[in-house]
């Protein structure tokens, strides 16, 4: 009898843990989208390196929570990465960065000579005015799709 009670208790606890996990998973699915707005997403084709550089203005409207971009991808290129220029020993150096954090109630401008997205090995030559989808992967597990317009070639 005691063994049966232990087995029933074990199954009951397992069921409750599973129920809690499913509840938190459902809550995560209903999670509020990030309070992030994106303006003037544009692309410049760097012909000398055959890369597409993506620039945009991002604003975090949340008064409480930061928005952290931990990755990027685009179906328009074989690889994509976040880059940042830094000043080192009198020179500006472009470096890959793991994440970009936009603090509450602030903005970040992705622009030439600063933070930007680099799309490497474009799958084709894109025409001026063509829209290219770029996906920002956020630390909270969400993804934000941005349509950037091809502006010019440098």
First vs last C-alpha separation in the chain: 80
- What percent of the chain clears pLDDT 70, i.e. is strictly above it? 78
Q: Is the pLDDT of residue 55 over 90?
A: yes
Task: From the options 2.60.40.1890, 1.10.10.10, 3.30.565.10, 3.40.30.10, give the CATH code of 36-153.
Answer: 2.60.40.1890
Q: Provide the pLDDT for residue 35.
A: 87
How do residues 64-99 score in pLDDT, each as one tens digit?
A: 999 999 999 999 999 999 998 877 787 777 788 899
Domain boundaries, the chain: 1-30, 36-153
How do residues 90-122 score in pLDDT, each as one tens digit?
A: 777 778 889 999 999 999 999 988 899 999 999
What pTM was computed for the model? Answer: 0.74
Q: Is the pLDDT of residue 21 over 70?
A: no
| Mean pLDDT (the chain, rounded) | 83
pLDDT confidence band for 26 (50 / 70 / 90): very low
């Amino acid at each position: 009898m005691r063994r049966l009670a232990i087995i029933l208790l074990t199954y009951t606890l397992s069921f409750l843990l599973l129920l809690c996990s499913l509840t938190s998973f459902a809550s995560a699915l209903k999670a509020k989208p990030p309070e992030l707005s994106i303006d003037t997403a544009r692309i410049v084709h760097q012909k000398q390196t055959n890369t597409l550089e993506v620039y945009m203005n991002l604003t975090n409207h949340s008064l409480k929570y930061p928005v952290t971009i931990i990755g990027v991808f685009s179906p328009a290129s074989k690889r994509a990465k976040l880059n940042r220029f830094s000043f080192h020993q009198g020179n500006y150096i472009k470096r890959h960065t793991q994440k970009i954090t936009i603090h509450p109630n602030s903005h970040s401008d992705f622009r030439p000579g600063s933070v930007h997205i680099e799309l490497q090995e474009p799958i084709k030559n894109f025409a001026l005015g063509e829209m290219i989808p770029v996906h920002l992967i956020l630390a909270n597990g969400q993804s934000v799709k941005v349509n950037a317009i091809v502006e010019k070639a440098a």
